[in-house]
Homo-oligomer: A and B are copies of this chain.
């Protein structure tokens, strides 16, 4: 059963894109929730870029391929697969250019604060959670995996575990070309903001709004890490992007990471964007620092096994989170 609510967040208010500060919040209550009065561990699912919480719950039905409602993905976990019940929370992190990347930006909004403070408080107040970091985990795929890393590695007092699935990472190898594909897509015009139907423009401005926002530069409020028309990489801006990259900021967050009960890295070995290499490198750095974690791979491409990995992540979280 999924409960729908709307949550107003002061941390999203005033974002420069003018996106709404009131957001959907979906809470999945596992089988047996109604029949008991006990409290449950809670897993927070951060959706990927280009999606919404609503779209996980009620996927579009007009595609060549079918996506099941997320409820049909969760039910077998706690039924057929026998995983002990958990509450699963699905906040909304959509931005008009794609995704707030689950981090704090003056342009897109402070999505990290919103999750860590507003969403957690709302859920703990309204549902029978175990309101403790030891019983609270976060997981997500693609930008949602990136967000899981960002939020748990910075807030170990709120979330004690993260399952990072096919997360944006190793940007210097995996994401740099996007800047040039964007310039190609508008060439010989100069950059002038996101263009409807031009996905390169949307993803580059979306990332820039999150990674290199610049409130002093209307109307788009971003610094782009590439010069036009020369194509020169602007290293100081690019470094601001890299500062959000898990393979980079892992080194600065070791104390936090050591506080976590569990870290799971999982990616498809055929990831279309080579993100399995980000995961391998991240695992390598964690090993170097002596930080325990699980590093799994699956035969998938970027998105083809996402729902199955959600199931796997819930199974893993149920073993890591305190159940009572």
Contacts and interface: CB of A to CB of B under 8 A. Distances in A.
B72 A76 contact: yes
Interface string A270-281: 100010010011
Which of A64, A269, A281 neighbours the largest number of chain B CB atoms within 10 Å of its CB?
Answer: A64
A115 to B, nearest CB: 27
A253 interface: no
Interface string A169-206: 01011001100100110010000000000000000000
A299 interface: yes
B304 A66 contact: yes
A64 B268 contact: yes
A299 to B, nearest CB: 5
Nearest to A179: B173
Nearest to A176: B173
Contacts of A301: 64-65
A47 B128 CA distance: 43
A231 interface: yes
Nearest to A62: B299
A20 interface: no
Nearest to A307: B66
Given A233-B173, A281-B230, A72 B80 contact: yes
B64 A270 contact: yes
Contacts of A284: 230-232
Which of A75, A173, A187, A274 neighbours the largest number of chain B CB atoms within 10 Å of its CB?
Answer: A173
A63 B304 contact: yes
Given A63-B299, A299-B64, A230 B304 contact: no
28 contacts: A64-B270, A64-B300, A65-B304, A66-B300, A66-B305, A66-B308, A68-B307, A68-B308, A69-B76, A71-B76, A72-B75, A72-B80, A75-B75, A75-B79, A75-B80, A172-B176, A172-B233, A173-B176, A173-B233, A176-B176, A177-B177, A180-B277, A183-B277, A184-B269, A184-B270, A231-B277, A231-B280, A231-B284
Interface of A: 61-66, 68-69, 71-72, 75-76, 79-80, 170, 172-173, 176-177, 180, 183-184, 187, 229-233, 268-270, 274, 277, 280-281, 283-284, 299-301, 304-308
